[in-house]
Chains A and B, each alone.
Chain A
């Protein structure tokens, strides 16, 4: 992408206020996760049996949970687990899908057809089912949940990366580079790779949103972050038992997940409009 085109993309992104707000929300969440130690008013695992299931007050802004831990502090620390589970598996999936997609799309032949058959088989098993089954067989922990989510996200990226490579291979400038005698690795690295990124970037935003929901779902089932370490999904699991006495325990973690996922989806929509290939 030339710098003039990059400027156009930024302009199109900024023109939509919803995208700007969504980006701000995402940045704020990252800030909260990084600065959890300074921002949280209490220790996330500090129990206080004199303040069990207390409703929101001046001391505990969002109330306390079943063993008197501060809900706000746990939400702030929980951002770490959620964002990590959202970003790390998707980063792994994207970084694996680029070389594999290039290989499959560029090499073609039997290698391509076998890779795609395996990919189709992986795509045939629904995302959350793969994640649950893998987490179950690997054993419950945040690390294994991330591995499960990463493996479950890979096929979508691989198919997208390969499809993009196939489309780019027929572009005039790739033909031109080939006619000029560029080597295959050079064409792949210099001409195809940079142009593969826009569709992958759009998908990344949506995939991180799905990964955050998947981690929350796994933690809710007890297959993610293990107690007493804070995670939004496991907070919801605990909250379910105290719905009538302490509804705030269920309300805030859910709203937090909703906020970050909504922001990522809006950002994804904005990126799609701004990076749409029709504009190139």
Chain B
């Protein structure tokens, strides 16, 4: 199967999934206790105002019609208006998403720098104290509540040592240095979790490739061990790791909710939490929908990368 055809097929298969996601997200609104028009009106219980809201949001129409109108708007990029700021939700999304993407990229760098070498070392020194320690650290990285780790790092590096700012954010073009210093701690917080997963996967993938016949052949040809590990074993072990990387990147985009909250970073996660507390449901729905779409697309990217990196996938199909 050609790559183009493979991607096209997968994209078509995504349509029903995303449609169902949109139905689920739309129906969240129905969970709201009481009349949504009253909830939207807030303190203002003036019947005229409530009726105006009912008409504006088509709440007086049947559910199916409401869904169709909502979906039609969403597909045109219109997610409604934020109740709090009175600006289009799509503008909010466009301004917050780059921040979260930057944070996810930095966290991924931390994860790769820690997880890959640790996994390789652990696999080549299987059963040694180093392997044991690396495994223990990786499991701790997976188990630690990240928001707590964030609080502890703020306590140490901002409150006690005063080396780094405790919170805030500056865009790279406003103040590049401040941008880096404000993102360092949150990237470490998010990166350690991914590094744990990365290390465990790298270790098991490396152990498999180190057992393979071609590695034995390379060793028999007296290829230096360093080259055997890096060129023969690691290069082949990278296939599952790349796929994992894409999936984990998708999780980082949505997983930064509490970290952004703690470090006061104006990203996607903070937008969601602020939306929840301001009862700004259009914002909440939009963030959930966009997160789900990004997550699904990155999962697709993971499969495409796997397809590209693994020639066997193309041969048989």
Stretch at the interface among B17-25, B41-49, B109-117, B171-179: B17-25
Q: Does A125 contact B (CB under 8 A)?
A: yes
Q: Does A120 contact B (CB under 8 A)?
A: yes
Q: Total interface residues on A, using CB and 8 Å? A: 43
Contacts of B152 in A (CB 8 A): 250-251, 254
Residues B155 and A243 in contact, CB atoms below 8 Å apart = yes
In angstroms, Cα B295 to Cα A122, docked, is 12
Q: How far is the CB of A117 from chain B (nearest CB, A)?
A: 6
Q: Does B257 contact A (CB under 8 A)?
A: yes
Residues B296 and A133 in contact, CB atoms below 8 Å apart = no
Contacts of B20 in A (CB 8 A): 117-118, 120-121
Stretch at the interface among B53-61, B139-147, B180-188: B139-147
| Chain B residue nearest to A254 in the complex (CB) | B148
Q: How far is the CB of A25 from chain B (nearest CB, A)?
A: 12
A265 and B142 contact, Cβ closer than 8 Å, known pairs A126-B292, A132-B257, A244-B159: yes
Q: How far is the CB of B23 from chain A (nearest CB, A)?
A: 8
Residues B24 and A217 in contact, CB atoms below 8 Å apart = no
Stretch at the interface among A100-108, A176-184, A255-263: A255-263
Q: How far is the CB of B289 from chain A (nearest CB, A)?
A: 9
Contacts of A1 in B (CB 8 A): none
| Chain B residue nearest to A133 in the complex (CB) | B288
| Chain A residue nearest to B144 in the complex (CB) | A258
Q: Does B254 contact A (CB under 8 A)?
A: yes
Residues B31 and A137 in contact, CB atoms below 8 Å apart = yes
Q: Total interface residues on B, using CB and 8 Å? A: 47
Q: How far is the CB of A220 from chain B (nearest CB, A)?
A: 6
B residues 11-47 near A (Cβ < 8 Å) are 16-18, 20-21, 23-25, 28-29, 31-33
In angstroms, Cα B258 to Cα A213, docked, is 12
| Chain B residue nearest to A239 in the complex (CB) | B151
A124 and B147 contact, Cβ closer than 8 Å, known pairs A129-B272, A132-B273, A250-B155: no
In angstroms, Cα B254 to Cα A119, docked, is 19
> Out of B31, B144, B147, B288, which one reaches A125, CB within 8 Å?
B288
Interface contact tally, CB-CB below 8 A: 124
Q: How far is the CB of A66 from chain B (nearest CB, A)?
A: 15
Q: How far is the CB of B183 from chain A (nearest CB, A)?
A: 20
Q: Does A160 contact B (CB under 8 A)?
A: no
Specify which of B139, B148, B257, B273 lies most central, judged by the most chain A CB atoms within 10 Å of its CB: B148
Residues B251 and A240 in contact, CB atoms below 8 Å apart = no
In angstroms, Cα B160 to Cα A247, docked, is 11
Contacts of A221 in B (CB 8 A): 258, 261, 273, 276
Contacts of B159 in A (CB 8 A): 243-244
Contacts of B276 in A (CB 8 A): 132-133, 136, 221, 223
Residues A124 and B148 in contact, CB atoms below 8 Å apart = no
Residues A261 and B143 in contact, CB atoms below 8 Å apart = yes
In angstroms, Cα B159 to Cα A133, docked, is 33
A residues 248-280 near B (Cβ < 8 Å) are 250-251, 253-254, 257-258, 261-262, 265-266, 269
Contacts of A209 in B (CB 8 A): 143
Q: How far is the CB of B46 from chain A (nearest CB, A)?
A: 25
> Out of B18, B139, B261, which one reaches A266, CB within 8 Å?
B139
Q: Does B284 contact A (CB under 8 A)?
A: yes
Q: How far is the CB of B284 from chain A (nearest CB, A)?
A: 6
> Out of A134, A261, A265, which one reaches B28, CB within 8 Å?
A134
Specify which of A128, A253, A261 lies most central, judged by the most chain B CB atoms within 10 Å of its CB: A128
B residues 148-179 near A (Cβ < 8 Å) are 148-149, 151-152, 154-155, 159
| Chain A residue nearest to B166 in the complex (CB) | A243
Contacts of A223 in B (CB 8 A): 276
Contacts of A133 in B (CB 8 A): 25, 28, 272, 276, 284, 288
Residues B254 and A126 in contact, CB atoms below 8 Å apart = yes
Q: Does B83 contact A (CB under 8 A)?
A: no
| Chain A residue nearest to B28 in the complex (CB) | A137
In angstroms, Cα B149 to Cα A265, docked, is 18
> Out of A126, A136, A222, which one reaches B284, CB within 8 Å?
A136
A257 and B145 contact, Cβ closer than 8 Å, known pairs A121-B24, A126-B255, A243-B151: yes
B residues 261-317 near A (Cβ < 8 Å) are 261-262, 272-273, 276-277, 281, 284, 287-288, 291-292, 295-296
Q: How far is the CB of B257 from chain A (nearest CB, A)?
A: 6
Which B residues contact A (CB, under 8 angstroms)? Answer: 16-18, 20-21, 23-25, 28-29, 31-33, 139-140, 142-145, 147-149, 151-152, 154-155, 159, 250-251, 254-255, 257-258, 261-262, 272-273, 276-277, 281, 284, 287-288, 291-292, 295-296
10 closest Cβ pairs, A-B complex: A254-B148, A121-B20, A126-B254, A262-B143, A136-B276, A137-B31, A261-B143, A125-B292, A124-B292, A121-B21
What would 27 A/B residue contacts be, using CB atoms closer than 8 Å? A117-B17, A124-B17, A124-B295, A125-B21, A126-B251, A126-B254, A129-B291, A129-B292, A130-B288, A132-B272, A133-B25, A133-B284, A134-B28, A216-B145, A217-B147, A217-B258, A221-B258, A243-B155, A254-B149, A254-B151, A258-B144, A258-B145, A258-B148, A261-B144, A262-B139, A262-B140, A269-B139
Known pairs A124-B292, A124-B295. 18 more at Cβ < 8 A?
A126-B292, A126-B295, A128-B257, A129-B254, A132-B257, A132-B273, A132-B276, A133-B272, A133-B288, A221-B261, A236-B151, A239-B151, A243-B151, A244-B159, A250-B148, A251-B152, A254-B148, A262-B139
